[in-house]
Amino acid sequence: MFQNIGEILILLWRTLGALPLTLRHRRKVGDQLFEIGNASLLMACILSLFIGGVIALQTGPRLAERGLSNLLGGLVGLSVCEELAPVMMSILIAGRIGSAMAAEIGSMRVYQEIDALRTMNIDPIHYLVLPRLVAITVALPVLVLFSILVGWIGGALVCSLNHQIHLSFSAYFNNLRQAVEWFDLTKGFVKSFVFAVVIGIVSCHQGLQTIGGPRGIGRSVTKAVVNSIVLILILDYFLTRALLFFDK
Amino acid sequence: MTQSPQQPPSHAVSVQVRGLRKSFNGQPVLKGIDFEVAPGEIFVIMGPSGSGKSVLLRHMIGLETPDEGEILIDGQPVQSPETMNKYRMAMVFQSGALLNSLSVGENVGLYLSEHRLKPAEEIARIVVEKLELVGLKGQENRSPGELSGGMKKRVALARALVIDPQLILYDEPTSELDPLMAVAIGQEILELKRRIGATSIVVSHSRDLAFGIADHIAIIIDGRILFIGTPDEVRRQSDPIIHEFLTVDFKPKQRKEDS
């Protein structure tokens, strides 16, 4: 993976250079956005609901024993919006969308469709990479926002329904409102934006590097997903460190 | 940019290949290739499988970078972006290489739509016209996955025609086709030469196609060009390797067994 970092950065640089052409490729961006939303929304909803719920379930009874259950809204709210929603959604998108990107571009490479584009003087970066990268960097932060809201609701549901916690919706959300600030939401956004770039560029790069037949495509898909997840988790640490500097 | 059959032929280009060498993973595939193709001629590169024909063709349209040597299109290196922008070149791939995510019509009109050379209605008209030329009238809304191998090749040909090419490269245009379709494609290549006057370079191991359409034939064996000449000159060649390649068939073996 790390030996390809240079190539990935060059691909990113060239794609960023093509950003002014985005409007020209808006139809393809729209198609990709639909693809991402269509493939991920339901899954994102289920995943987020249970993430919020499980944090509340893990921490709620212990806090309730010590009479601190009114802090649960803030605890679930912060952990979901700063960490769990961006990271878990990115991992989900790497698995669902990153793999699809690598597979589609990989099969286009194997079956000479990319060569055909080049013979028509159509740059594969403009035609294939740019719309995908733009779409994923727009879609993932939106999905993360959606995931944060659903995650909070999941936490609230568990807090109100679990007899050991027994925290009302209003008490939960009051505490959440006090604890979570706009900057905390921004942190989640920043992370999801960076992770979207990672998933998009790693998956497209892996697709463009595909050689061989169906086996090569399979290998590219696996590499795209694994490399994206590893990079997401590594970058998550450094982004968290960097964002801590901006905390009060 | 695209011209109708009534318009005069486009300006054909010359192709010069000089000292071309290419290796993959240390394995030499092209071992010093030199030849020249005159503007407007049909130049057929023949050779057995694995002799480096397709790799040579890919170099000629800039899909591969040579280890040594150069390819010049009208005297300009093919690798330079200016050459790709200045000259209209097209390649008909062995598999067709149609974009599966697009319909047949979108594939054919891709060059025009991506480079925004014509309005959408004009592109649709040209697509219908080019598909009609290759005998695929009314197929524009079908998906490439629904087409047979021969139809895919014809769509690829229509896609190449839309570019109004000055140079067309054909990679095994008749492989995997039945004899009737192979003849039809061969005739189409001749007809295109007559109609648009483009320089055509055809890679094939089909002897019938080569002798049927070529102005000049190059025989490539094991990464080297053994001979270049007109079809008659190639037929008269006494080199045993070329002779064997051009004459071998199932019958001699049969006779041997009979005797």
Q: What is the pLDDT of residues B37-50, one digit of tens each?
A: 999 899 999 988 88
pLDDT in tens, A159-182: 988 888 888 889 999 999 998 888
CA separation (Å) from B198 to A170, A184, B15, B231?
77, 63, 12, 20
**Residue in chain A lying closest to B163 (CA):** A120
- In this prediction, residue B10 carries a pLDDT of 56
Torsion angle of C-alpha atoms B77, B59, A203, A142, degrees rounded to 10: 50
H helices, E strands: number in chain A: 11, 0
pLDDT tops 90 at residue B5: no
With contact defined as beta carbons under 8 Å apart, do A206 and A224 qualify?
yes
- Tally Cβ neighbours within 10 Å of residue B205: 17
Give ipTM to 2 decimals: 0.83
Rounded to 5°, angle at Cα B245 from B239 and B248: 115
Whether residue A11 contacts residue A204, with contact meaning beta carbons closer than 8 Å, is answered with yes
Closest CA to A135 of A17, A31, A10, A8: A31
Q: What's the CA angle centered on B122, arms B118 and B125, to 5 degrees?
A: 140
Please check whether residue B171 is in contact with residue B91, taking contact to mean a CB–CB distance below 8 angstroms: yes
- B183 to chain A, any CB pair closer than 8 A? The answer is no
* Contact between residue A224 and residue A98 where contact means Cβ atoms under 8 Å apart: yes
User: What was the pLDDT predicted at B189?
Assistant: 86
Residue A88 has pLDDT above 90, yes or no: yes
Residue of A nearest to B108 (CA): A120
Q: What is the rounded end-to-end Cα distance, in angstroms, of chain B? A: 62
**Please, what is the average pLDDT of chain A?**
92
Mean pLDDT to the nearest integer, A202-225: 93
- pLDDT of residue A3 exceeding 80, the answer is no
pLDDT for B2: 37
Residue A105 is predicted with a pLDDT of 96
* Chain A residue closest in CA terms to B92: A116
Closest chain A C-alpha to B251 CA, distance in angstroms:
36
User: Does B61 contact chain A (CB < 8 Å)?
Assistant: yes
Query: Does A108 sit within 8 Å of B99, measured CB to CB?
Result: yes
Contacts of B91 in chain A (CB under 8 A): 115-116, 119
Cβ within 8 Å, pair A113-B100: yes
What secondary structure letter does DSSP report for A190? H
Partner residue opposite B63 with nearest CB, options A107, A115, A127: A115
The full 3-state SS of A132-158, as one line of letters, equals: HHHHHHHHHHHHHHHHHHHHHHHHHHH
pLDDT per residue as tens digits for the range B212-234 = 899 999 999 888 998 899 998 88
B186 vs A98, more confident: A98
- For residue B163, which phi and psi values (nearest 5 degrees)? -70, -15
A198 has a chain B CB within 8 A of its CB: no
In this predicted structure, what is the pLDDT of residue A114?
A: 94
